[in-house]
Amino acid sequence: MEENNLQCSSVVDGNFEEVPRETAIQFKPPLYRQRYQFVKNLVDQHEPKKVADLGCGDTSLLRLLKVNPCIELLVGVDINEDKLRWRGDSLAPFLGDFLKPRDLNLTITLYHGSVVERDSRLLGFDLITCIELIEHLDSGDLARFPEVVFGYLSPSMIVISTPNSEFNPLFPSVTLRDSDHKFEWTRMEFQTWALYVANRYDYSVEFTGVGEPPAGAENVGYCTQIGIFRKNGGKATESCLSEQHDQHVYKARQGLTMLRRLVLNFHPQAVLLPCLPKMLRLQVFTTSYPSLQQERFFKLVLVNEVSQQVESLRVSHLPRRKEQAGERGDKPKDIGGSKAPVPCFGPVFTEVEKAKIENSPTPFCVGDKFFVPLQRLLAYPKLNRLCANEEMMRSVIADSIPLSSDGSAVVADLRNYFDEQFEF
């Protein structure tokens, strides 16, 4: 739920009457942002590759987490299909994601379904978050929740947040913070439940929270209480995961459509039982982000970076070449000097990086052709990060950028039309 700092009605999800501004509890930043930032900080610290948010709602947390470079698979599950469909497009890559691809692949998938149904595609996750979720579960689902999330899915880490009912008296006229809440626990109730679950499924747990109480009310604790569960012994082993049979409760939409078609083909007047949709989880949305692990994007980035670096070197050497205009010939001429050119605008190198560049082969000219050795290009940090060695660079750029006859250097025209216009 998204709390507004100005009125208590939105602090409790808009289900209660507004109260005067001066009597409302004010959270800065808003409480929902504090919860999401808590998870993001945890992700920054532990760098999980596979993260699932159960009860993802409007996908705000997923949108915050998708920028983390460590995450390769991000999954959201929620019972409200309309909300997932409405928000799905906000998780798709933008133009900037194609212009500057991620280092690692990222796939984002949204599923419609119940969080207390087993689905083997959520096995082996590093982190599962349940932010303001458990209080929406009825007694039956709450009883099944630990068995599914802790027992079956068994991720390395689980984060569960839930309202602290001891804080509620500070909200005017509030019994439950949301009309859909089935319960709200005190700190003792939450910790008793969490410790029992952790002990049963071989997890450790620590407690914290967000939303500090106002001065004089410190005894009530955080407004939102949080349990961080860690699997004892770390990740589930591959042998443990292989023992789990594929159980795809989350079905792709075409699976349900085909099922309907089959039923109706055999029984034209038939209507699917009401329970059928509840048995299937629908894949509402999925998208993949461009990354340097994908060959076509890696090539585009590398070719662009090489071209930019060669052009920067070419332009920086034109004034020096003009001074040597009377000494043209076929003999290769070192025009780079021992020092790396320092452009007016560009990256700032450390002393170690500068030394590496200065000690690399120097660009040179033969007639009106400008040669930049691949070893020189590999000395620049950005290109060095992209390419492990000269052979790799040569194989990727060979059909896009002119190379010398022996393939050891990039070749460019020393002067072009724009140089003539600006009288370099």
Same structural domain for residues 57 and 202?
Answer: yes
- Domain boundary, last residue among 183, 199, 231: 231
- Domain boundary, last residue among 208, 231, 254: 231
pLDDT tens series, the chain, 424 aa: 334 433 333 344 443 334 343 456 889 999 999 999 999 999 999 999 999 999 999 999 999 999 999 999 999 999 988 888 777 788 999 999 999 999 999 999 999 999 999 999 999 999 999 999 999 999 999 999 999 999 999 999 999 999 999 999 998 777 888 888 999 999 999 999 999 999 999 999 999 999 999 999 999 999 999 999 999 986 654 434 545 556 666 644 333 333 333 333 433 433 333 443 433 456 788 999 999 999 999 999 999 999 999 999 998 877 665 555 555 454 544 544 444 444 445 678 899 999 999 999 999 999 899 999 999 999 999 999 999 899 999 999 999 999 999 999 999 998 765 555 445 4
Identify whether the C-beta of residue 101 lies closer than 8 Å to the C-beta of residue 92.
Answer: no
pLDDT score at 176: 85
* Residue 263 falls inside a structural domain: no
| Tally of domains in the chain | 2
- Of 110, 57, 83, 72, whose CA–CA distance to 285 is shortest? 110
* Residue 177 falls inside a structural domain: yes
Which 3 state secondary structure label does DSSP give 29? coil
Which 3 state secondary structure label does DSSP give 291? strand
Angstrom CA distances, 3 to 10, 26, 32, 211, 224, stand at 5, 9, 6, 11, 12
Same structural domain for residues 214 and 303?
Answer: no
* Interatomic CA distance for residues 172 and 181, integer angstroms: 18
- Domain boundary, last residue among 231, 252, 279: 231
Domain that holds residue 102: 31-231
* Residue 403 falls inside a structural domain: yes
Report phi then psi at 187, rounded to 5: -60, -40
* Residue 260 falls inside a structural domain: no
pLDDT score at 320: 60
Residue by residue, DSSP assigns 179-205 as TT-S--B-HHHHHHHHHHHHHHTTEEE
* Residue 299 falls inside a structural domain: yes
DSSP type of residue 165: G
